[in-house]
Amino acid sequence: MTVMTVPHARTSALALPLALALFGACTPRSTPAAASTAEPTRAAARFPDGWRLTAGASSTFAAQTMAVSNSPQASAAAADIMKAGGNAVDAAVALGFALAVTWPEAGNIGGGGYTIVHMADGRSAAIDYREVAPLAATRNMYLDANGKVTDRSIEGHLASGVPGAVAGLNLLLERYGTMPLSRVMQPAIALAREGFVIDTALAGSMARAAATVSRNSPVTPYFPNGTALPAGARLVQPDLARTLQAIADNGAKAFYEGWIADSLVAEQQRGGGVITRADLKAYTPVPRNAIASTYRGYRLLAMPPSSSGGVTMTEALNILEQSGTMPAYGSTRWFHLLGSAFQRAFIDRNSKLGDPAFVKVPMEQLTSKAYAKSLAATIDDARATPTKTLEPKMAQPVREPEHTTHYAVVDAQGNAVSTTTTLNNSWGSGVWVRGAGFMLNDEMDDFAVQPGTANMYGLVQGEANAIQPGKRMLSAMSPTIVLDKSGRVLLVVGAAGGPTIITGTTQVILNVIDHHMTLADAMRAPRVHHQALPDSLTYEDGGIRPAVLDSLHAMGYAMRKLRALVNINAIMRVNGGWEGVPEPRRSGGAVGY
Ligand code: GLY
């Protein structure tokens, strides 16, 4: 995929040109040698010779505001809102709704997500708008008559949880925004109504999804006659425009109780889904306290359950903190230490975490430094530790991630929003709500549909994450904000990619804090992943030195290679402003002024 640190040339006829006209194109520039705070000088990184992304690339810089997402048009919508006087929260909500139009593989109103918000006045919060299992859901609803797992949690009408995105974005705006919903939704409505030109990234995504979506929803604006629209075509979504306008006019209630709810329920009934009007009416987003942890003197605000992201990251970072300094980036010891920390944190994640409304999560223990110290003591410097519970049938490969999306927004006051949202698989369940114009999620597969059996990410999860009506399925989404040693926002980061979200987000933080990389290098650096089961260390093709690979084999690691790991979007404070970097392995846009 091409790196786009400036907006893509083929973009909306509306939002993006407006943003560019108002603010000028953001100038990529090199990072200044050192910030005026106590931040360390950022040194040039060295990557393995075979690695396809070069070190030393520039980032998009802006003095006051920055928005980064997988869609240049959606980032531009956020910039437009801030230029019109909105704060980062107004802009993030505008971006969230715009993504539902311009990045329909993961941006959504038919799914759910999580936001970490930190306001310049010191307030912070975690907003949980994860989907919930419908009231008619049962523990074994995805098993066949022989007790075998079917694919009905992944594709089709039964795969959907009750969507939370509209309620969650609305709550975020009400609590921390300054503009009305009707204002911040304007860019999204315009993009849906007037259309926008499809770029190669979206065209590729559509082509990959054409068969699945057309099988479940024969008529959609994306796949007229079952064929994906090509790059350069204009995507107009009149049904979605009407839906967004109804939400803008009447609030979240329009989605959960009005004609949109009727359309969603009718769609469910058409294909054997079980979401009802009662499910939609009962949906409630949950404001929570962010997990406030520390790492080498920096403060982290991370997502608590129902996502596993914050707990697992905190546990892994606490283990890593036990080593006085991190080993050299990319060395054998570095791979071993990261793999061992992730493995231990994922063992807890997979067995102990679930929706806190249904299971008691030992938060204090899992996030404590003392517990991390005891886990660090189990790491053998010379050998990989087998994940004892591994059984061969569970050893499914970690897949190259193709789902979910993260966005980050900051404003001139220092307010910051970190949001990850998803339909689970790219294009969700493949079901498009007729008449209302949006995709539905397949989030039910994030439950342990049969505790002890791997899900589509190869994750083997336990009873704590079994299906129950009204319960939130465990997520790996990890929207995070890192504060520097003087308490200012340093880094706004998060990712797409199932369980690799946790390990990828952690690595960008490590690259910035321990390895003193620029944000561009921190994002381009090769990544590694361990999730306990399958018991293997996954690395990116070309991202490891041959001698290091040999050493890790000799230490007992099963090594797995993927072309790319994780889709991350991030913003970092630098001297005089902000740098924004969309995922160099995929596509996206950083827009600011
Ligand atoms: N659907 C991916 C996750 O929530 O982790």
Handedness of CA 58, 63, 68, 73 (dihedral sign): negative
Nearest CA-CA partner of 418 in 192, 176, 247, 189? 176
CA dihedral 518, 326, 370, 507 (to 10 degrees): 40
Model pTM above 0.75: yes
* Ligand 1 contacts CB of residue 422 (under 6 A): yes
Model pLDDT for residues 566-577, shown as the tens digit of each residue: 999 999 999 999
Tokens 């009707």, residue? 182
| Predicted pLDDT of residue 400 | 54
Q: Ligand 1 center to residue 170 CA distance, Å?
A: 21
Element (H, E) at 562: strand 559-562
Nearest CA to ligand 1 atom 1: 424
Q: Please identify, by atom number, the ligand 1 atom nearest to the C-alpha of residue 308.
A: 5
Contact call for residues 539 and 47 (beta carbons, < 8 A): no
User: For position 24, what pLDDT does the model report?
Assistant: 29
Q: What is the mean pLDDT of residues 181-196?
A: 98
Tokens for 112, please give them: 């759910």
Looking at ligand 1, which atom is closest to the CA of residue 420?
A: 4
Percent with pLDDT over 70 in the chain? 91
424 lines ligand 1 (CB under 6 A): yes
Which residues carry out catalysis?
Answer: 404
* Location of structure tokens 């009662």: 278
Q: How many angstroms separate the CA atoms of 66 and 26, rounded?
A: 10
Residue in the structure block whose two tokens are 């994030």: 446
pLDDT of residue 401: 54
Alpha carbons 219 and 213: distance in angstroms, whole number:
9
- The CA 475 to ligand 1 mean position distance, Å, reads 4
What is the secondary structure of 194-218 as a DSSP string?
Answer: H-EE--HHHHHHHHHHHHHHHHH-S
Q: Which residue has the CA at smallest separation from atom 3 of ligand 1? A: 475
* pLDDT-derived band at 533, boundaries 50, 70, 90: confident
Task: Examine the pLDDT at 167 and tell me if it is beyond 80.
Answer: yes
Over residues 507-525, the mean pLDDT reads 98
What pLDDT band is residue 21 in, cutting at 50, 70 and 90?
very low
Question: Pick from 285, 244, 287, 209: which is nearest to 99 by CA?
Answer: 244
pLDDT per residue as tens digits for the range 393-404: 333 444 555 679
pLDDT tens-digit series, residues 422-450: 999 999 999 999 999 999 999 999 999 98
For residue 10, pLDDT over 70 is answered with no
Residue 12 has pLDDT above 50, yes or no: no
Three-state SS for 52-118 is CCCCCCCEEEECCCEEEECCHHHHHHHHHHHHCCCCHHHHHHHHHHHHHHHCCCCCCCCCEEEEEEE
Q: Which residue has the higher pLDDT, 460 or 391?
A: 460
Residue 453: per-residue pLDDT: 82
Percent of the chain with pLDDT over 90: 85
- Of 187, 190, 176, the C-alpha closest to 90 is 176
- Ligand 1 pocket test, pick from 115, 346, 501, 529 with the greatest ligand atom count within 8 Å of Cβ, gives 501
Whole-number pLDDT of residue 44: 83
For ligand 1, whether the C-beta of 87 sits within 6 Å is no
218: which residues sit within 8 A by CB, 6+ positions away? 226
Q: Please report the pLDDT score of residue 6 as a whole number.
A: 31
Q: How far apart are CA 248 and CA 261, in angstroms?
A: 15
Question: What length is written for the chain?
Answer: 593
Q: Average pLDDT of 300-315?
A: 98
Instruction: Say which DSSP state 304 is in.
Output: P
Cβ-proximal residues to 480 (8 Å cutoff; 6+ apart), any chain: 116, 300, 301, 302, 303, 309, 310, 313, 418, 491, 492, 493, 494, 505, 509
| Cα-to-chain-centroid distance, residue 592 | 21
3-state secondary structure 234-300: EECCHHHHHHHHHHHHHCCHHHHHCHHHHHHHHHHHHCCCCCCHHHHHHCCCEEECCEEEEECCEEE
pLDDT at 297 over 60: yes
Task: Output b/e per residue, 427-463; b: 16+ Cβ within 10 A.
Answer: bbbbbbbbebbbbbbbbbbbbbbbbebbbbbbbbbbe
Among protein residues, the one whose CA lies closest to atom 2 of ligand 1: 498
The chain-wide mean pLDDT, for the chain, equals: 91
For ligand 1, what atom is nearest to the CA of residue 499?
5
Return the ligand 1 atom nearest residue 425 CA.
Answer: 1
Q: From 153, 424, 465, 473, give the residue whose CB has the most ligand 1 atoms within 8 Å, as the site to mutate.
A: 424
